[in-house]
């Protein structure tokens, strides 16, 4: 079961070298690279949450993607840049430069196969910046390559209707959304009796700063939480998780179909598709 939730017919690593060499229309085939983490998620969730969520969501999306939309998913990169959690046992982290180098070399490999559309689908909130830099650098190396640095939670989904306002704003780790999704994906790995609610200490009233958003400060998880949870895990229900998963899968199926159709607005530009002269 190396493919996890991904339908076997959509799992790139189950193809052969001959399948890749002879595949027609590779320029418009969408390749997905899940980018995740192995890091603490409080007392009630396993270290693998981000890895399970990105594979679970993409698997459910690919299962409902029309057969006529060509798309393959690579095996996940389970190790991410998780040093904000480093003081909690169990966390594995690699440096930003290691992760960027790995993503860059995966991109070069996918381009060498003849594919021209690659989406990094990241599920860990501590590394979107690294994913963006790696995608931009690969785009610069390969003028005919379309790259998409994406975050798994950013497609339209049911979060806003399911989560309490405070949770939407500050429930950023192992809270209601992640717990509910894990109850839907891997119920045997959720320790229901160990769920907690822990919100971070408040900034002074009127502060322009916030934990995330436009004017953040650089925190470590132990600045914000004793348990490792930042949010309310106790509010999660299975029904909520199933609803979230269904909405995320719909969002990703729609986005993958759009990536398949995507044409870079500059594709008529003669400078694109060839090495630049300067
Ligand atoms: Zn997480």
pLDDT digits (tens, 9 = 90+) for 203-221: 999 999 999 889 999 999 9
Q: What is the pLDDT of residues 143-192, one digit of tens each?
A: 999 999 999 999 999 999 999 999 998 999 999 999 999 999 999 999 99
Name residues with Cβ closer than 5 Å to ligand 1, which is an ion. 49-50
pLDDT score for 274: 53
The Å distance, Cα 153 to ligand 1 centre, comes to: 11
pLDDT reported for residue 272: 62
Distance 59 CA to ligand 1 centre (A): 18
Query: What CATH superfamily classification does 26-261 receive?
Result: Creatininase (3.40.50.10310)
pLDDT at 275 (0 to 100): 46
DSSP code of residue 30: E
What residue ranges do the domains of the chain occupy? 26-261
98: Cα separation from own chain's centroid: 18
| Residues near 20 by beta carbon (within 8 Å), at least 6 away in sequence | 113, 114
> Which residues of the chain carry a pLDDT beneath 50?
275-278
Task: State the distance from the centre of ligand 1 to the C-alpha of 124, rounded, in angstroms.
Answer: 6
Q: How many angstroms separate the first and last alpha carbons of the chain?
A: 48
What does the pLDDT read at residue 270? 64
Ligand 1 centre and the CA of 260: distance in Å? 28
Give the Å distance between the CA of 126 and the centre of ligand 1.
9
Other Cβ atoms less than 10 A from the Cβ of 85: the count is 25
Residue 171: closest CA among 237, 231, 224: 231
Q: How far apart are CA 214 and CA 212, in angstroms?
A: 7
Q: What is the dihedral of CA 178, 212, 251, 253, to 10 degrees?
A: -90
**Count H helices, E strands: the chain?**
9, 6
């Amino acid at each position: 079961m190396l493919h996890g939730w991904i339908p076997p017919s959509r799992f790139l690593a189950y193809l052969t070298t001959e399948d890749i060499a002879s595949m027609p229309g590779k320029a418009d085939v969408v390749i997905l690279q899940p980018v995740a983490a192995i890091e603490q998620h409080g007392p009630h969730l396993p270290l693998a949450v981000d890895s399970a969520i990105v594979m679970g969501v993409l698997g459910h999306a690919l299962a409902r993607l029309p057969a006529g939309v060509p798309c393959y998913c690579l095996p996940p990169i389970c190790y991410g840049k998780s040093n904000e959690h480093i003081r909690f046992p169990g966390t594995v982290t690699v440096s930003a430069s290691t992760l960027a180098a790995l993503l860059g070399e995966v991109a070069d490999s996918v381009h060498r196969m003849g594919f021209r559309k690659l989406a990094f689908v990241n599920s860990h909130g501590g590394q979107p910046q690294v994913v963006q830099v790696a995608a931009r650098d690969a785009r610069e190396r390969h003028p005919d390559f379309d790259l998409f640095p994406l975050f798994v939670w950013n497609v339209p989904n049911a979060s806003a209707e399911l989560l309490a306002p405070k949770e939407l704003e500050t429930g950023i780790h192992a809270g209601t959304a992640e717990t509910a999704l894990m109850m839907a994906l891997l119920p045997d790995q959720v320790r229901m009796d160990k769920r907690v609610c822990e919100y971070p200490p408040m900034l002074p009233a009127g502060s322009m700063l916030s934990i995330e958003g436009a004017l953040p400060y650089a925190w470590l998880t132990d600045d914000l939480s004793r348990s490792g949870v930042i949010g309310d895990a106790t509010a999660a229900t299975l029904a909520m998780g199933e609803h979230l998963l269904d909405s995320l899968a719909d969002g990703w199926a729609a986005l993958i179909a759009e990536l398949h159709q995507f044409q870079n607005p500059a594709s008529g530009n003669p400078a694109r598709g060839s090495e630049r002269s300067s």
